[in-house]
Amino acid sequence: MKRVTFPHMGNLWIPARAFFQEMGLEVVVPPKNSKKTLDLGIKYSPEFACLPLKINLGNFIEALERGADTIVMGGGCGPCRFGYYGEVQQAILKELGYDVRMIVLEPDLIQGYRELRDLFGGFPLKRLFNAGKLAWNKILAMDKIHRLVLKRRATERMAGQVDKLYNAFLAKLDQTMSVDGINRLKREYRELIDDTRGKFKRGMEIKIGLVGEIYLIIEPFVNLEIEKKLGQLGATVEKEVYISNWLSHFLHLDNEMETITKAAEPYLRSFVGGHGIDSVGNAVRYARRGFDGVIHIGPFTCMPEIVAQTILPEVSQREGIPFISLFFDEHSGDAGLITRLEAFIDLIGRRKKIVNYK
Amino acid sequence: MSYKIGIPRALMFHYYYPSWEVFFQEMGMEVVLSPETNKRILDEGVKRAVDDLCLPFKVYYGHVLELLDRVNYLFVPRLISLGKGNAVCPKFMGLPDMVRATFKQVPPLIEPVVDLRKGLFPLRRIAHQIGEKLKVNYWRVEKAYWKALKKQREFAEIQQRGFTPAEAMRILKNGSVESQAGRDNGLRVAVLGHSYITNDKYLSMDIVGHLRKMGVKVVTLEMFRPGLLEKAAERQPKKLFWIYNREVMGAAYHLLFESKERVQGIIQVTAFGCGPDSLVNELVSINSKKHQDISFLNINIDEHSGQAGLITRLEAFIDLLERRKMA
């Protein structure tokens, strides 16, 4: 039997494990992202590759050491580097002497069908539908609760209360294997988290929009838990980049992209790969919705986000919203990040007081 | 009306300039070119760019600055794709917007969207869009377009006879080019990298010129027929979507595995912060290990690179090749 693994990206492992298990495959979830993952990744990756590639590679090596023999990975047709990750990682793993099969899911229906047929040894439609439904519901529940957590951290009565509930929710979600169960769990935790609601830590609401590259936004290990830090500083956070949004966009289930393209149009008139145009478009949308600030994050040397970074100062000026760009690599440290976030939130707080006073 | 059209001497200039020049001149425009890259251009570009931007784009900003108050229009095409299944680096796709966001006062841009995947004769359509914008007579545009195409073909043919793009441009202008080769030492070395780096004397610190002075016969990727490179690039199971990198990778694979005219060494030139190169160079390096008798040198260029260090490395590399050849 095949022993399947996949790269980490936030809590993606919960629905991914459910999906492959339902399809009757053995799943090896790579150990949580850690310093060791990063070190392994850095050691064997090209020096100037972007951070997600390095961490993915670390995940793969750790999972292969635990007996995985098949890797499922995403693909793409550019211009972002992610589309070529699989090809490079495969070459590196081969060079390191691992005997591994890598299945790269391309945005090409026929090829995707072939890959999946190979993986599951056939194409059991009904089973795929059920497994897909279960995974999809997990993703929706996960993202829904996450949205709530981003709001409630700034108003919790006891420090760390919301995160404790969130972690408990995730652990239970991993165990729940029915759609009804997932919905019950979602309702239960929505109420529990809502109950923590107290006063704003800063005496007023500070709303931050988080934009940037998807991996950096979704994976707390690489963004140094920026969302949690912002919550602790008393800011409520909103973001548009979730696994559910990404999937529904990928499968053309929504027209979110049109809204974003339109918002970005005065500043950026072309798709630039990855989430570059999303960063610009969503920053504009947050500004128009009256947010207090935008934080833009991405991995060091990320091409689409460099385009966005170049354009965001103009957005900030013309739309009148403070913004800060933070790029992360393997050398990014907690202390530096906290200082910058504190300064940014303080600045916004003071700006808001002056505006209110007037 | 005759307008002054500004063309920055950077990035796409190195691939297409001769045809652009003909195209605009035939339409009765005056082409204003920024000077060759120098320290001031580099420094001014670096000053205006975000830190993480790669060097060639920083240099592009420097060239734009040179043209700002000297022209009526600035020609900044937005490259999206040069054909089915290929793409360019994201920064090319956002270039006009990046220029506008970086400079507060820019002359109006001529920014055709170059996406050659769609429609019949997409290039001709783009030519007419530009002509309309400049209010030029339809047939005059049509004529300019065909002349430009012919020029581009000539440009490519000269390069394939063994000249770098810079030399080919000089040949098109003056009919000949001075030779700078030193005493021939029988070595053939390939210098592989994006044309906008290897072909910019200041940016690449004239690697090609230095090698020639040492008596080395230099091969660059422009000297191969594109079809040859395309075929060699197919060694990589998944088609590489970045078109300009596919040429670089194709040239490397061609020299490593297919070419009958042997090279003794391959020098890969990369600018700091180049996204596609960071992955492609790794693949080429892995493959180069299969070929023990071609030596590899990786040169990474950033705004702090100095000539002295580079020349030492080149000399050491050539010494090594000479010794290997004698052994």
Instruction: Name the residue among A46, A304, A311 with its Cβ closest to that of B90.
Output: A304
Contact A77/B at CB under 8 A = yes
Peptide bond before A79: cis, by omega within 30 degrees of 0? yes
Least confidently predicted of A145-154, A251-260, B22-31, B115-124: A251-260
User: Cβ(A132)–Cβ(A19) under 8 Å?
Assistant: yes
The beta-carbon neighbor of B50 closest among A78, A83, A309 is A309
Preferred mutation among A48, A53, A85, A296 to probe B, highest tally of B CBs within 10 A: A48
pLDDT at B180: 63
Number of Cα atoms under 13 Å in the Cβ half of residue A279:
32
**SS3 state of residue B117:** coil
Quick check: B63 and B8 in contact, CB under 8 A?
yes
User: For residue B182, what pLDDT is reported?
Assistant: 63
* pLDDT computed for residue B197 by the predictor: 95
A301 at interface of B, judged by CB pairs closer than 8 A: yes
Q: Do B53 and A86 touch (CB under 8 A)?
A: no
Give A168 to chain B, closest Cα distance, Å. 39
Contact residues for A93 (Cβ-Cβ < 8 A; gap 6+):
A57, A60, A61, A64, A100, A102
* pLDDT at A252 (0 to 100): 73
Cross-chain Cβ contact B101/A267 below 8 Å: yes
Greater confidence (A246 vs B97) lies with: B97
**Is this model's pTM higher than 0.90 or not?**
yes
> Is it the case that residue B292 has pLDDT exceeding 80?
no
Residue B307, token pair as written in the block: 């000539």
* pLDDT tens by residue, B272-281: 889 999 999 9
Q: What is the pLDDT tens value at each position of chain A, 358 positions in all? A: 789 999 999 999 999 999 999 999 999 999 999 999 999 999 999 999 999 999 999 999 999 999 999 999 988 888 999 999 999 999 999 999 998 999 998 877 788 788 888 888 888 889 999 999 999 999 999 999 999 999 999 999 999 999 999 999 999 999 999 999 999 999 999 999 999 999 998 888 999 999 999 999 999 999 999 999 999 999 999 999 999 988 888 777 777 889 999 999 999 999 998 899 999 999 999 999 999 999 999 999 999 999 999 999 999 999 999 999 999 998 888 999 999 999 999 999 998 888 777 6
Pairing state between β A293-299 and B295-301: unpaired
| Residue in A with minimal Cα distance to B243 | A79
| Angle between helices B138-160 and B13-26 in degrees, nearest 10 | 150
For A77-107, b/e burial (b = at least 16 CB within 10 A) is bbbbbbbbbbbbbbbbbeeeebebeebbbbe
> Domains in chain B, please, with CATH?
4-160 (3.40.50.11890), 179-326 (3.40.50.11900)
**Residue-by-residue DSSP string for A157-212:** SSTTHHHHHHHHHHHHHHH--SHHHHHHHHHHHHHHHHTTB---TTSS-EEEEEEE
Q: What is the DSSP letter of A156?
A: B
pLDDT of residue B325: 85
A269/B contact by beta carbon, under 8 A? yes
Strand ranges (E), B65-115: 73-75, 78-81, 109-110, 113-115
Q: Do A84 and B241 touch (CB under 8 A)?
A: yes
d(CA A349, CA A355): 10
Q: What is the helix (H) or strand (E) element at residue A299, kind and residue range? A: strand A293-299
A 81-100: CB under 8 A from B = 81, 83-88, 91-92, 95
Taking a C-beta distance cutoff of 8 angstroms, is the pair B278, B248 a contact?
no
Complex-level ipTM: 0.93
Q: Which chain B positions have a beta carbon within 8 Å of A47's beta carbon? A: 278
Residue B183 C-alpha, separation from nearest chain A C-alpha, in angstroms: 38
**CA–CA distance, A339 with A329 (Å, rounded to integer):** 17
> What distance in Å separates the CA atoms of residue B167 and residue B120, rounded to the nearest whole number?
33
Residues of A in contact with B277 (CB under 8 A): 48
Q: Which of B94, B274, B282 is nearest residue A276 as measured by Cβ atoms?
A: B94
**Per-residue pLDDT reduced to its tens digit, A57-85:** 999 999 999 999 999 998 888 899 999 99
The verdict on a CB contact (< 8 Å) between B275 and A313 is no
Alpha-carbon span B35 to B51, nearest angstrom: 24
Looking at the predicted structure, is the pLDDT value of residue B181 above 70? Answer: no
Q: Please tell me which residue of chain A has the smallest CA distance to B270.
A: A48
In chain B, which residues touch A (CB < 8 A)?
49-50, 52-54, 78, 80, 85, 87-91, 93-94, 96-98, 100-102, 113, 236-238, 240-242, 272-279, 281-283, 286
DSSP state of A49: S
